[in-house]
Structure 1
Amino acid sequence: MGESFVERPVSTRVRIGRFELNLQTGELGSPDQDEAKLLLPEQPFLILQMLVEHKGKIVSREDIRKRLWPADTIVNFDHSINVAIRNLRKALGDTAESPKYIETLARRGYRLMVETELLISKVGTDSEQAHRAVSLANLADMTGLKVSHYRVLAMIGGGGMGVVYRAEDLKLGRSVALKFLPAEVATDPVALRRFEREAQTASSLNHPNICTIYEIEEHDERPFLAMELLSGKSLNHELENIAHKRMPVSQLLTVAIQICDGLRAAHEKGIIHRDIKPANVFLTLAGPVKILDFGLAKLMEPDADRGREPASSIEPPNSPQPKTSKTDIGLTTSGVRMGTAGYMSPEQVRGERLDARADLFSFGLILYEASTGIRAFSGETAEIIYDAILNTDPPLVRSLNPELPRSLEVVISKAIQKDRALRYQSAARCGTP
């Protein structure tokens, strides 16, 4: 079937100095010079949009983090922002040392140094766009592509560690989800190892309450996961859209039991998730609750070298808890926090070695939020949240929702004890005296 070309509105464009940016497609070019248009990768494109929107005012790194990582996942986003800014400057022919387009303001953020002008749309045949080279760096271009034995149908989500598409498995005739690393982190060895670890970790788990990973593949030097396509909504979305942002007790208990079952299965395999939060819990239309995104999960592996920190993350409950070594295979170094600020355990905040009880603390925070409508620990910045996790005790859940049974309050209070020796020692023990 041949390509068809129809007259349609050309996407809204904005002039940025000598460049023009297509705000729909991410194409950047100079109309005054005979040069090919450049398709900006996703993250530089989003940052440039923010700079344009702010019209010369400062865009803070925190603003960028919130736009690019709306779920607040903290996965060394500083590095990704730096890479995205560097790539954006390269596209504009700009430098940090002698900036003409993007100025860096130390410890504050960035601002656009040139005037911008929104250009009037016109109607015409956009054959140039139809004939442009397909680039995986542009999210919209994925739709309709054949990737390995999959046909990409639509983008269904994305964040700092992956962009997810709905696709058709042409071999087996089934619908799947494909998760790609963002182009600007696909060359980051740490991100690649974390991505591959997610595939290895989750594919070893066969449980009805864990999202199934089918395989890991690569297309044009860009790795992707093929996984179970789920219909439904995240627990985070559910809580945002129900009355008082809290669940009825009967529904909460049903969800809690299934999360706990999924965690038990992972922990028994020697795997801790490290990023349990409402956004990573999925309520399917078919009924089962699924734990998502093992991108921060850590594996238990034997390590015969007693002079090196063991790779194991699941340790006996009474074992000493040294801080993470710089040689740890878990892709962290001492003091690096991995997880999501509002759902971290105290030991995660301190950068210590983790065991299964870190997941159980995060699980308790989910129960707290789902039963009361508020987070146990919150604040304007991550540091304020960290301080609360380490040094303050949230109100008892029944003081916020008197309709809750006392037994549930006991379970939640035990799960979120700051001293992990006082928490449930395994998912199998949750709810027991």
Structure 2
Amino acid sequence: MASPSVARARYQGLAAARRWEHEPARPREKFTLSVGDRVGELTVIGHVARGRIAELYQVWSNRHWCALTGKLVLPEYCVKGQAPVSFRREAEVLEKLKHPNIVRLFGSGEADGRPFILLEYLAGPSLFDVLEGLPNRRLHVPDAIRAIMHVGAAIHYLHRCGYIYRDMKPANVHLREGVPVLLDFDVVRELEPLRRPADRLGTAPYMAPEQVRREVLTTATDVYGLGALLYELVTGKWPHEEPVDAADEAFWDELDEDDSDEPEPVIKERTAVVDHEMTTRELEQRYPQLCQPIVPPRAHTPGLPRAFEAAVLRALDPDPSARYQTVSGLLAALAPMLKGKNRMWPENAPVERRADTATR
């Protein structure tokens, strides 16, 4: 029997997130505010992240008498105290949404010439953080399905409210007591069946082909994003990454064990938005989903159930009409795979089984 000192660590997956202890880290990027600075009734008590047009801080709100996440527009993007359209849209959309798997809005306003949004402070990690802390960046299939059930419920609700999300990725899903919560609604747009979007916003590996081509977007566009997220949760890879040879993987693992005094590089998971017009060749190089077939999930993780792989591949079909047409269709296909201790509902509770599951 192996001694406890050398026994292999037991996989914990999302369960470990319940014991996640998080304190605001020292900023690794340049922020405009320091701990202790005040903006109106808000006091900065920690740094969270710096995005394209805004900064996120952990703040103390005298009005709400609690710690919250303050999202403040960067000074260079404020025009006479007016926030960019995407920032105002995010506040307007979140004000209408009330769902347990969507980040809670506490208010918005302007202070010292900087527009801000107040959101609940999620101390838990993101799914990106969880994957980075796991061997081969992989969740077990039941954990991955449970995560998608929660995120999918949020997206389904968003669709019913008349919006499409467009920016699904692990970094946009944080955990509240181990339960996935969707945040970052700055690229949300209304579902408009006949209108083509003027922009190409999103994160490259998770964008549906029609999203890249600026074609009409439907609920099936977000189904693709959910499929790409589910693919990464169980394989640790993006849908178009080729499998790594075992010998090569062992070689890189040995390099990872090298103790170096060099500081770790800052990980930037979000792909920059491309505003200039791109040629077809440039598009295909940047977005392989336009021309390359999906690498089957079992090529990375051979033990995956075939029914599960089939559901993932259908969600990632390049043809929007061949995908699940609704998020509920994808969730209905995944639901029977959660059995026994992995069930998310009481054993005798009725689970939706509609006759049109195969086509929706």
2:178 counterpart residue number: 287
Residue type of the partner of 1:291? L
CA contact (8 A) 2:80 2:113 kept: no
2:206 counterpart residue number: 343
Once residues 189 and 206 of structure 2 are traced to their aligned partners in structure 1, the CA distance between those partners, rounded to angstroms, is: 17
Residue 377 of structure 1 deviates from its aligned partner by 3.1
Secondary structure at the counterpart of residue 184 of structure 1: helix
User: Equivalent of 1:373, from 236, 248, 269?
Assistant: 236
> More strand by proportion, 1 or 2?
1
Residue 139 of structure 1 deviates from its aligned partner by 2.7
1:162 counterpart residue number: 54
Summarize deviations over 1:328-353 as a string: whole Å, max 9, x none. Answer: xxxxx2xx311111111101110112
Residue 322 of structure 1 deviates from its aligned partner by 5.9
1:107-186 to structure 2, matched below 5 A, reads: 139=31, 141-186=33-78
Summarize deviations over 1:261-281 as a string: whole Å, max 9, x none. Answer: 110111110111111111111
Residue 282 of structure 1 deviates from its aligned partner by 1.1
Residue 391 of structure 1 deviates from its aligned partner by 1.1
Ranges in structure 1 where 5+ consecutive residues have no aligned partner: 1-66, 69-137, 300-312, 316-320, 325-332
Residue 427 of structure 1 deviates from its aligned partner by 1.1
Secondary structure at the counterpart of residue 139 of structure 1: coil
- Mark the CA change 1:370 to 1:220 in structure 2 (over 3 Å): closer, same or farther: same
Secondary structure at the counterpart of residue 230 of structure 2: helix
Aligned residues: 269
Once residues 227 and 82 of structure 2 are traced to their aligned partners in structure 1, the CA distance between those partners, rounded to angstroms, is: 30
1:212-223 to structure 2, matched below 5 A, reads: 212-223=104-115
- Mark the CA change 1:190 to 1:244 in structure 2 (over 3 Å): closer, same or farther: farther
User: Equivalent of 2:225, from 337, 358, 362?
Assistant: 362
Deviates more, 1:147-156 or 1:404-413: 147-156
Secondary structure at the counterpart of residue 77 of structure 2: coil
Once residues 59 and 140 of structure 2 are traced to their aligned partners in structure 1, the CA distance between those partners, rounded to angstroms, is: 35
Residue 214 of structure 1 deviates from its aligned partner by 1.5
Residue 386 of structure 1 deviates from its aligned partner by 4.2
Once residues 412 and 265 of structure 1 are traced to their aligned partners in structure 2, the CA distance between those partners, rounded to angstroms, is: 21
Secondary structure at the counterpart of residue 367 of structure 1: helix
Once residues 202 and 62 of structure 2 are traced to their aligned partners in structure 1, the CA distance between those partners, rounded to angstroms, is: 36
Once residues 318 and 79 of structure 2 are traced to their aligned partners in structure 1, the CA distance between those partners, rounded to angstroms, is: 38
- Mark the CA change 1:338 to 1:189 in structure 2 (over 3 Å): closer, same or farther: farther
Once residues 357 and 262 of structure 1 are traced to their aligned partners in structure 2, the CA distance between those partners, rounded to angstroms, is: 15
Once residues 212 and 426 of structure 1 are traced to their aligned partners in structure 2, the CA distance between those partners, rounded to angstroms, is: 24
Residue 147 of structure 1 deviates from its aligned partner by 2.5
Once residues 192 and 125 of structure 2 are traced to their aligned partners in structure 1, the CA distance between those partners, rounded to angstroms, is: 30
Once residues 188 and 161 of structure 1 are traced to their aligned partners in structure 2, the CA distance between those partners, rounded to angstroms, is: 16
Residue type of the partner of 2:45? L
Residue type of the partner of 2:123? S
Residue type of the partner of 1:414? R
Residue 394 of structure 1 deviates from its aligned partner by 1.6
Summarize deviations over 1:105-148 as a string: whole Å, max 9, x none. Answer: xxxxxxxxxxxxxxxxxxxxxxxxxxxxxxxxx83534323333
Residue 188 of structure 1 deviates from its aligned partner by 9.7
Residue 216 of structure 1 deviates from its aligned partner by 1.3
- Mark the CA change 1:277 to 1:146 in structure 2 (over 3 Å): closer, same or farther: same
Residue type of the partner of 2:305? P
Matched, 1:389 2:289: yes
Q: Which runs of 4+ in 1 moved over 6 A?
A: 188-191, 379-382
- Mark the CA change 1:187 to 1:233 in structure 2 (over 3 Å): closer, same or farther: same
CA contact (8 A) 1:345 1:362 kept: yes
Residue type of the partner of 2:215? E
CA contact (8 A) 1:372 1:401 kept: yes
Once residues 221 and 204 of structure 2 are traced to their aligned partners in structure 1, the CA distance between those partners, rounded to angstroms, is: 13
CA contact (8 A) 1:378 1:385 kept: no
Structure having greater relative contact order (Cα 8 Å, sep ≥ 6): 2
CA contact (8 A) 2:205 2:287 kept: no
Once residues 200 and 65 of structure 2 are traced to their aligned partners in structure 1, the CA distance between those partners, rounded to angstroms, is: 41
Summarize deviations over 1:81-102 as a string: whole Å, max 9, x none. Answer: xxxxxxxxxxxxxxxxxxxxxx
Secondary structure at the counterpart of residue 207 of structure 1: coil
CA contact (8 A) 2:144 2:233 kept: yes
Residue type of the partner of 1:205? L
1:22 counterpart residue number: none
2:325 counterpart residue number: 425
Once residues 298 and 230 of structure 2 are traced to their aligned partners in structure 1, the CA distance between those partners, rounded to angstroms, is: 12
RMSD of aligned alpha carbons:
2.5
- Mark the CA change 1:263 to 1:186 in structure 2 (over 3 Å): closer, same or farther: same
Residue 158 of structure 1 deviates from its aligned partner by 1.3
1:259 counterpart residue number: 151
Once residues 146 and 75 of structure 2 are traced to their aligned partners in structure 1, the CA distance between those partners, rounded to angstroms, is: 39
Deviates more, 1:374-383 or 1:159-168: 374-383
Deviates more, 1:154-163 or 1:226-235: 154-163
Once residues 241 and 192 of structure 2 are traced to their aligned partners in structure 1, the CA distance between those partners, rounded to angstroms, is: 28
> TM-score scaled by structure 2?
0.69
Residue 385 of structure 1 deviates from its aligned partner by 4.9
1:296 counterpart residue number: 187
> TM-score scaled by structure 1?
0.58
Percent of counterpart pairs with the same letter? 29
Once residues 415 and 144 of structure 1 are traced to their aligned partners in structure 2, the CA distance between those partners, rounded to angstroms, is: 47
1:14-413 to structure 2, matched below 5 A, reads: 139=31, 141-187=33-79, 192-284=84-176, 286-299=177-190, 313-315=191-193, 323-324=196-197, 333=198, 336-377=199-240, 383-413=283-313
